[in-house]
């Protein structure tokens, strides 16, 4: 607008405080701009009206045509002030239309292909359509195709669509708890094992999302093949997103039950260390943090510590990450070193830690601005083996005498 003009307050969306382009009414009677209320309903944990705080009992949004026409007329009247006319929005697809598309797909494989192509088009149009697809049961329809269609190309298309739908937590839980026999976790793991690279990536990303909403019992009963395929994704490095998703899965599930042991048996520790040694991974700060968190979790069991020490570069790699990535990575790296230093200490290991600069790095942790818990763990490890590391110029006399032999 070239000049300041007064905009009627009822033209403004209560959420964005901007002129509404597509005003819609929710079940509480309040009008919002469609884009703003859609984003609110997707991000909010429960469907509540931002103005009245009442529950929105019906997620269908009713277009407020009268208000939209008033806004358009006002824009036209104030065109001389630089106000642009708001175009008439394209009506979103209806739930009944989507249900008909799904129903028609059952008659033949050709119609199924057409159905998936049409759903892809609908998904790409706007966020409103995604919510409508979800309400029409499309995620369950796609999950059935993913579970039942073997190596068919329609399975790969359904998998891609299911990921791009960005389904809500409630829908993900429904997919996980499906009583029709379609085990979505096993289906995704099978795709991770046999699918093309793109489908393996989508399967990994979806598995991460689904396991985030799983209950503890479901996580504790994960099969060893889940961990085997997650580690293979880390090994193949098919995409940056897939690698990070695989690491995220390990971080989320390893604290539960015997999952640490399953991950160790699948070779997770060796693969994480190899990944941390990869220069292309060094630019991914969040990825390195998750790798260090996973390594710390796995080193909390004896098998994990043994596997860690079997890798010739493990100590050096972890030591290098201290004070070079982030506070989180430094803390987890010190925790890993404390685990092996406390439970696996041998003269050879302690000498190796001294030669690789672990003692010097731990002393530096005590001197710089670092988390108090990280400092405590570093100090504990230094005191634990101070008599062995007494030749290091970094150790003070008080620390050497703190734990006499």
Residues 207 and 188: their CA atoms lie apart, in Å, by: 7
Listed in sequence order, the DSSP H helices in 149-258 are: 153-164, 169-176, 184-194, 197-212, 216-220, 224-236, 240-253
| 3-class DSSP assignment, residue 231 | helix
- Residue ranges of the chain whose pLDDT lies below 50: 1-2, 181-182, 403-405
pLDDT at 393: 74
pLDDT at 2: 46
pLDDT at 71: 95
Question: Burial, 272: exposed, middle or buried (Cβ in 10 Å; 0-12, 13-18, 19+)?
Answer: buried
Look up the pTM and report it: 0.81
The closest of 227, 296, 312, 291 to 261, measured between CA atoms, is 227
Instruction: Write out the H or E segment, with its range, that includes residue 37.
Output: helix 34-43
Residues 205 and 202: their CA atoms lie apart, in Å, by: 5
């Amino acid at each position: 607008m070239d000049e300041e003009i007064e905009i009627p307050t009822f033209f403004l969306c209560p959420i964005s405080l901007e002129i509404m382009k597509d005003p819609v009414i929710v079940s509480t009677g309040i009008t919002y701009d469609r884009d703003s209320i859609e984003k609110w309903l997707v991000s909010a944990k429960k469907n509540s009206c931002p103005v009245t705080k009442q529950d929105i009992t019906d997620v269908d949004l009713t277009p407020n045509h009268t208000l939209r026409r008033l806004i358009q007329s006002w824009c036209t009247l104030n065109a001389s002030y630089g106000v642009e006319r708001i175009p008439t929005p394209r009506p979103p697809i209806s739930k009944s239309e989507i249900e008909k598309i799904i129903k028609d797909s059952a008659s033949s494989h050709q119609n199924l292909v057409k159905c998936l192509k049409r759903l892809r088009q609908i998904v790409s149009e706007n966020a409103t359509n995604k919510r409508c697809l979800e309400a029409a049961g499309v995620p369950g329809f796609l999950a059935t195709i993913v579970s039942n269609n073997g190596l068919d190309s329609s399975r790969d298309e359904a998998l891609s669509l299911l990921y791009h739908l960005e389904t809500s937590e409630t829908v993900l839980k429904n997919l996980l708890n499906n009583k029709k026999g379609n085990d979505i976790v096993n289906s995704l793991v099978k795709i991770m094992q046999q699918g093309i690279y793109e489908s393996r990536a989508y399967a990994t990303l979806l598995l991460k999302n689904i396991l985030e909403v799983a209950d503890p019992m479901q996580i504790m009963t994960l099969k060893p093949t889940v961990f085997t395929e997650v580690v293979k994704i880390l090994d193949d490095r098919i995409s940056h997103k897939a690698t990070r998703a695989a690491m995220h899965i390990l971080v989320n599930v390893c604290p539960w039950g015997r999952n640490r042991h399953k991950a160790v048996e699948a070779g997770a520790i060796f693969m994480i260390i190899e990944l941390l040694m990869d220069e292309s991974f060094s630019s991914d700060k969040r990825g390195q943090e998750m790798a260090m968190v996973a390594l710390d979790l796995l080193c909390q069991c004896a098998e994990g510590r043994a596997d860690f020490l079997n890798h010739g570069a493990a100590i050096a790699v972890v030591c290098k990450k201290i004070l070079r990535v982030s506070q989180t990575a430094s803390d987890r790296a010190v925790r890993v070193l404390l685990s092996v230093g406390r439970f696996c200490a041998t003269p050879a290991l302690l000498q190796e830690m001294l030669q690789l600069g672990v003692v010097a790095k731990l002393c530096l942790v005590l001197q710089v601005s670092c988390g108090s818990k990280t400092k405590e763990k570093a100090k504990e490890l230094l005191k634990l083996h101070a008599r062995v590391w007494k030749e290091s110029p970094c150790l003070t006399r008080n620390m050497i005498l703190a734990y006499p032999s």
